[in-house]
Structure 1
């Protein structure tokens, strides 16, 4: 066997959402900051993302995270989320996967009953507190980056649903949050295909019509996802994040739940010390807490904490044969959507 590249990958899922981690084979990515490194992947060299995400080695329904040396001295490790469309600055479920792997693989020393892990991400530092029992990581709380509302109740004219109202908020990336009743769908597994198609189409439409830019990180300047939501009670929401080119997040989505928390705080529906449950389409859940309030570039913002669980399920070595004609990967419209 003669591989020109060898990667070690740890398989992890967070509440049903796959977030694999590259733990060996990538020395570093060019750039002074994690944001620079993410931009290098998206703008200069996308080959690693395609290698691990595209077929025949990957699949649409997962993320793969690159574990990197941190660029800030406070952090234990840096990571970048790679998904089907591009690399993204932050993901709550993937951060929980990364922390679980760091501790259970012995890359960061585990201390019982709790270990603090600081992650360097393109969206800023994220502090994680992992509950550790008998050598296992049984849960992770993430102090997320400050989340804020960009605008509320934005009217968007659509051909299929007429005028809908959309909240635009940042929770690590920018979200368009839509009450799912406006599109006439229930957040149930049998509607996953339809929810994915509608969400991705609406994301493209909204991103064309609504300009966003993070006040501190101007390169974060697009709406990454549409999250559908349904209020179940005063303290419980069902959430469904849709991801390009056409799938739904299996987890309740940490960054999306943070963005949703910012909209609820802006409407006076939750205050400091309050908490709620975000429940995914498959029934898994995150606990979401409002730790405090702050400002981001002069905008009111909230400090969310997300708690969820992840499980490691395997270790694999992925290699590239120099004679493999499909080393660059490929996509097919039967699973990746038309035009992909």
Structure 2
């Protein structure tokens, strides 16, 4: 029986892992990264499961598949994945990919800053990597244009009414003030929030028509629970609709929150917003410029954080193995 060999670079961004897949996939047809993502969903989902799920991964695993660039100015393309699905955009994984590009020499390295341009399903992004002695120190991600889609959205879960904002930061997020649940967002709250999130997002996607003005993105797939911890500071827990927990403060979630704060008039250009995960890890967000996305007014968010290589691996997919394409529990 056939064996397939994959090589990966293992990284983490503020505690959230990314498995960067550097070889093993066949050539993927399609011009744009969104087209390639759709082909991957249709033809190669078994390989995603094999690399993200147990026994090689776990239910909260995140991956990034490096592909040839879509745009001539880009260093490479990337399509994101996790243990449940292919993903349009992932901020922490983009930061990890930018760090890896510098450390692996995928781009010409300049000090003090090296620019890394990547094509993603949500659009082309740029990361500015601060470099000292040829080593990446931190990354500022210039994310895709982000905007507040809807505010004060009413949703009922378990017979109670709550209000959320729906905001886009590469994917659509439900921004949920945890004061509505009387939670301080500690690790012990996760057991309650996972099933609550499934119900919350299911209701939002059932009740409301979600549509990006120019991209084929039509669902709210993450909830960001937050509590204010100071002026322009918050603590958060981000949970995906299938129950995955982000250990970092979430780059796309931070972008969505920046867009929300801008729309509400609570954040000016170049003001720093501190987004802290329940683990204590922090992203620093800001925006320099406003943007227009369809008929929405938004921003061009910038997220700063650090990432590190934790290992390199070779994975073998052996079709004689009855569990070779993974499982979740």
Q: Is 2:312 aligned against 1:305? A: no
Whole-Å Cα distance in 1 between the matches of residues 13 and 5 of structure 2? 25
2:320 aligned partner: 323
Select which of 182, 185, 198 maps to 1:184.
182
Count residues with an aligned counterpart: 329
2:244 aligned partner: 247
Select which of 164, 167, 170 maps to 2:165.
167
Contact 2:53–2:61, Cα closer than 8 Å, also in 1: no
What is the SS of the residue equivalent to 1:156?
strand
After TM superposition, the score normalised by the length of structure 1 is 0.93
Q: Is 2:127 aligned against 1:128? A: yes
1:288 aligned partner: 285
What is the SS of the residue equivalent to 1:205?
helix
CA shift for structure 1 position 56: 1.4
Whole-Å Cα distance in 1 between the matches of residues 54 and 255 of structure 2? 32
1:150 aligned partner: 149
Whole-Å Cα distance in 1 between the matches of residues 47 and 317 of structure 2? 11
Whole-Å Cα distance in 2 between the matches of residues 135 and 200 of structure 1? 44
What is the SS of the residue equivalent to 1:201?
helix
Select which of 254, 266, 270 maps to 1:273.
270
Select which of 230, 234, 243 maps to 1:233.
230
What is the SS of the residue equivalent to 2:6?
strand
Contact 1:20–1:97, Cα closer than 8 Å, also in 2: no
CA shift for structure 1 position 330: 1.6
Whole-Å Cα distance in 2 between the matches of residues 45 and 318 of structure 1? 16
1:258 aligned partner: 255
Whole-Å Cα distance in 2 between the matches of residues 173 and 253 of structure 1? 11
CA shift for structure 1 position 57: 1.4
Whole-Å Cα distance in 2 between the matches of residues 165 and 190 of structure 1? 23
Q: Deviations over 1:212-244 (max 9, x none)?
A: 111111x21111111111111122111211024
Q: Is 2:102 aligned against 1:103? A: yes
Q: Deviations over 1:70-93 (max 9, x none)?
A: 111121011111012211111110
Contact 1:53–1:59, Cα closer than 8 Å, also in 2: yes
CA shift for structure 1 position 68: 0.5
CA shift for structure 1 position 27: 4.2
Whole-Å Cα distance in 1 between the matches of residues 227 and 41 of structure 2? 33
Contact 2:54–2:328, Cα closer than 8 Å, also in 1: yes
List gaps (5 residues or longer) in structure 2: none
2:192 aligned partner: 194
2:4 aligned partner: 5
2:202 aligned partner: 204
Whole-Å Cα distance in 2 between the matches of residues 12 and 151 of structure 1? 34
After TM superposition, the score normalised by the length of structure 2 is 0.96
List gaps (5 residues or longer) in structure 1: 333-340
